[in-house]
Each structure stands twice: as C-alpha cells, then as structure tokens.
C-alpha cells in the first residue's frame, strides 16, 4: 500500500506591511530568499499534485519553487478576518476586538470566521482531497493558519493546541496518511522544517 503524502509549504514572506491584517487579501510575496526556495526545490518530490490557496502570495511562491501547473484551492485559504482585513491591529477598537482577544479560537472578526471555523473548512478540504488524490504526493502552498489547521486535523487537536505551532515562511511541514485496513492513520513526519 502507498501513503498519501502532504508536503505543506508556507508561502514566502509577504511584501505587505507586517502591522496590517492580511488574512485572505492579495499581497505579493517577497521571493528574495533564493536559498530557501532552492532548498525546497531539492526536497520536494518530482511527481506531485500541486495546490495553492489561490491567494497571490501562495501562487507566486509555487511559481518560484518551480511550477505553474497548480490547482487553486480556496478551501486552503488563510483565516478570513472579514471587516478587519487590510486594517492594522493597533487601530482596531471596540467590544468585538476585546472579545476576539479574550478567545481568538472561537470568536470571529466581524464578517469573518473564527480559527475553529477555519480548521473545519480546511479539514473538510484536506479530507476530500486526500480521497481524490489517494496514494499521491500533494504539495500545498498555503498559510500559517492553514498548516496549523492541517496539523489539528491530523493530530485531532483542539484549536488552542493547534494555534501554538509556529509556522515560518518557506518552511516545510510533512504529513502523510497511512492506510491501515479500514482506517486511515495520520503520521506527522516534521513540522516547520
């Protein structure tokens, strides 16, 4: 039996202002870290299904690593920060901001989604694609929150636990599904490598 192997890559650094909430907005990637990009090229499988979130910085990262042949997959987008997208955290005021910071796992920004809702969305997408591309290598260029959601899905973690992972730009996280008769067993090979 062959395993379904997910090769998760967080997109290259954003060229946008780091004080701004980017979430699902279309900010360009900073592709100047040629050493990390080259290292990723060497570590990835030759034959793979390539997916991106469809957000510009993930598409640009996929192209820099070496493919224009990828499938944009909106289910792999970063958390939707709704009305807060494009704004600076420091400028946000009011009761909704206070509630969000008291419990950012289950609270959602106005017009957006909570971290738990994102985990559910991403998990549904991963599970569907894992069946569709069973026994294949899947390279997914996505976002920090998306990769944390993938880890929550694989390890059956609560949102608070999943949020504690640090996922660096241009890092590799490997997760595979090992068939075991009727069941599928998730195996986390490495995180943030």
CA distance 31 to 14: 9
CB 143 within 8 A of CB 59: no
For the chain, what are the domain ranges? 4-190
Q: How far apart are CA 72 and CA 51, in angstroms?
A: 6
Looking at residue 16, its pLDDT comes to 79
Tell me the backbone φ, ψ of residue 139, rounded to 5 degrees.
Answer: -100, 120
> Using CA atoms, how far apart are residues 168 and 158, in angstroms rounded to an integer?
21
Handedness of CA 119, 121, 87, 31 (dihedral sign): positive
Q: What is the pLDDT along the chain (193 residues), one digit of tens a residue?
A: 479 999 999 999 999 788 889 888 889 999 999 999 999 999 999 999 999 999 999 999 999 998 889 999 999 999 999 999 999 989 999 898 999 989 989 999 999 999 999 999 999 999 999 999 999 999 999 999 999 999 999 999 988 899 999 999 999 999 999 877 777 789 999 999 9
pTM of the model: 0.93
Q: What integer pLDDT is reported at residue 19 of this predicted model? A: 86
Kind of pairing between the strands at 183-190 and 71-72? unpaired
CATH for 4-190 is 3.40.50.1240
- Residue 63's pLDDT is 97
Residue with tokens 């993930």: 58
Q: In Å, how far are 41, 83, 122 from 19, measured between CA atoms?
A: 30, 16, 25
């Amino acid at each position: 039996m062959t395993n379904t192997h997910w090769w998760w890559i967080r997109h290259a650094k954003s060229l946008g202002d780091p004080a701004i909430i980017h979430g699902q907005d279309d900010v360009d990637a900073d592709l100047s870290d040629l050493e990390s990009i080259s290292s990723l090229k060497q570590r990835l499988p030759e034959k793979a299904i390539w997916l991106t979130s469809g957000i510009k910085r993930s598409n640009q990262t996929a192209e820099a690593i070496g493919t224009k042949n990828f499938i944009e997959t909106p289910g792999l987008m970063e958390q939707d920060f709704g009305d807060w997208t494009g704004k600076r955290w420091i400028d946000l005021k009011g009761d909704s901001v206070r509630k969000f910071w008291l419990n950012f796992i289950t609270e959602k920004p106005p017009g957006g989604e909570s971290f738990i809702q994102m985990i559910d969305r991403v998990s549904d997408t991963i599970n569907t694609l894992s069946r569709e591309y069973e026994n294949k290598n899947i390279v997914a260029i996505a976002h920090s929150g998306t990769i944390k959601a993938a880890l929550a899905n694989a390890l059956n973690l609560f949102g608070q636990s999943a949020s504690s992972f640090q996922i660096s730009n241009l890092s590799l996280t490997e997760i595979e599904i090992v068939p075991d008769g009727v069941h599928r067993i998730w195996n986390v090979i490495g995180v943030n490598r």
